[in-house]
Amino acid sequence: MKVLAIASYGDLGGSQFRLATFIDHRPAGVEAEVLLVSDGPLRAYLAVRGIRTLIASGYDGRPGLGHAVRFTRSLHGLLMRRRPDVVWAMGQKAALLAAPACRAHRIPIVWHKVDFSRDATLAKPVAAAVNGVVAPSRALVDALGPLRSARFLGVVHPALRLGDVEPQSDPDRPVIGTVARLVPYKGHHHIIRAAAALSSDFPGLRVVLAGGPAAEYPDYPARLEALAAELGMKERVEMPGFTEDVAAVLSRMTVFVNATYRDEQGFGLEGLSGAMLEASWVGVPVVATRGGGTAEGVQDGVTGTLVNGADSGQLASAIRPYLRDPALAARAGADGRRFARSRFAPEVASRRLFAVLDEVASARS
């Protein structure tokens, strides 16, 4: 089977890492190459893995009608030359741009829906334009409405990229934190406030907020630093920036915190956080806000604790028992390791994805 994967963005984020991991673990007999709708560090990340990558240019930002027409013409030639059996569109933008050319060539296209972006206006039209939809959680496909029964091909869990990693946390110097881009709706500021509320009870507590800055929120890192200073947490908060060595960051943590919330523009719900699942893989208890697909990745009261909102008081109350009782944290971490490795091992997730793509390709034949 020949697969053309189309990635909406060329940066390095959760869905981009998943795409590379899926292809790294593809079954024998599957040929795969990637078209990036916009260039970025993902190109080099794929290149070192020997994954053939093609680059489109001039498609940064939200696509308009002119972009769609030009992309359709360009993809038309590529489909003629490559003749893939199926197109796998990672993200809404990739599916939206690629669907017209795929339809014209009668090449099936599967939309890998990874978030809730613009669901109110685009989820149904994009689903109608493709042959099928997969998603990392069931919550992500509710927006398809009546098209769900006709287009939803099933859940494909994220393929995690970590090996055998052991937690290294020190009960006397506990660490809480997260791994996420520095955007407000990821709730980093709520994590700092929660840590401040816990600091008197746990004088050795530190906070690690790993993630790179986002162009759309250029002042957010400075705002976080100012907040830490205001709360007397300046020396306790680390912001190491983007890191590929996620395992090294997670292994230090006593508790992983996912404080994502929906902002005024509707951004922020998690489809299913890969970093959160990787924390469980390492053996770190998770405290996470409910919403989106998060509840499908946390066994509440077993692998971690779900809270109803990104309020710093609720987060602190959920974090405190794991800091106070290392045995509780160890049990939750061990349960998280078993849960993550049974569901999100890269071989299992990749086999599931390519089986779905093969089924769609075979139906076309």
Query: Does residue 66 carry a pLDDT above 80?
Result: no
CATH of the domain at 83: 3.40.50.2000
Cα dist from 62 to 51, 89, 97, whole Å: 27, 16, 11
Is 184 in the same domain as 238?
yes
**Domain identity same for 214 and 278:** yes
The Cα 175–Cα 338 span in angstroms is 22
Confidence of residue 262 (pLDDT cuts 50, 70, 90): confident
Residues 237 and 303 in one domain: yes
Mean pLDDT value across residues 274-288: 96
The predicted-structure confidence for 32-43, as pLDDT tens digits, reads as follows: 999 999 999 999
Structure confidence at residue 289 (pLDDT):
96
Examine the domain organization and report whether 209 and 291 are in the same domain.
Answer: yes
Query: What is the per-residue pLDDT for 41?
Result: 93
Q: Is 176 left (phi over 0), alpha (psi -120 to 50) or beta?
A: beta
Secondary structure of the chain in HEC code, one letter for each residue: CEEEEEECCCCCCHHHHHHHHHHHCCCCCCEEEEEECCCCCHHHHHHCCCCCEEECCCCCCCCCHHHHHHHHHHHHHHHHHHCCCEEEEECHHHHHHHHHHHHHHCCCEEEECCCCCCHHHHHHHHHHHCCEEEECCHHHHHHHHHHHHHHEEEECCCCCCCCCCCCCCECCECEEEEECCECHHHCHHHHHHHHHHHCCCCCCCEEEEECCECCCCCCHHHHHHHHHHHCCCCCCEEEEECCCCHHHHHHHCCEEEECCCCCCCCCCCCCCCHHHHHHHHHCCCEEEECCCCHHHCCCECCCEEEECCCCHHHHHHHHHHHHHCHHHHHHHHHHHHHHHHHHCCHHHHHHHHHHHHHHHHHHHC
Comparing 24-33, 45-54, 166-175, 304-313, the range with the smallest average pLDDT is 166-175
Rounded to an integer, the average pLDDT of 295-313 is 96
Residue 158 backbone class (left: φ over 0; alpha: ψ -120 to 50; beta: rest): beta
pLDDT category, 113, cuts 50, 70, 90?
very high
246/273 same-domain check: yes
Residue 13 reports pLDDT greater than 70: yes
How would you classify the pairing of strands 53-55 and 152-155?
unpaired
Domain range spanning residue 332? 175-343
Q: Does one domain contain both 274 and 327?
A: yes
Domain assignment present for residue 42? The answer is yes
Instruction: Name the pTM for this structure.
Output: 0.90
State the average pLDDT over residues 134-160. Answer: 95
- CA neighbours within 13 Å on the CB side: how many for 158? 27
Co-location of 65 and 199 in the same domain: no
Contact 35, 102 (CB under 8 A): no
Q: Is residue 166 part of a domain?
A: no
In this structure, are 337 and 358 located in the same domain? no
Residue 170 lies in a domain: no
- Considering 8-12, 117-121, 208-212, the range whose residues carry the highest mean pLDDT is 208-212
pLDDT > 90: percent of the chain: 83
Tokens for 2, please give them: 């020949």
For the segment 125-131, the average pLDDT, to the nearest whole number, is 97
137 shares its domain with 211: no
Please write the tens of the pLDDT for every residue from 81-104: 999 999 999 999 999 999 999 999
- Give yes or no: residues 108 and 80 share one domain: yes
Residue pair 295/302 in contact by the 8 Å Cβ criterion: no
Between residues 214 and 110, which one has the greater pLDDT? 110
- Whether 169 maps to a domain, the answer reads no
Q: What is the mean pLDDT of the chain?
A: 93
User: How far is the C-alpha of 213 from the C-alpha of 198, rounded, in Å?
Assistant: 26
The answer on pLDDT for 164 being more than 90 is no
One domain for residues 231 and 357: no
Number of independent structural domains in the chain: 2
Determine, yes or no, domain membership for 164: no
Are 21 and 81 in the same domain?
yes
Q: What's the pLDDT score for residue 270?
A: 87
Look at residue 363 and tell me whether its pLDDT is greater than 70.
Answer: yes
pLDDT at 365: 58
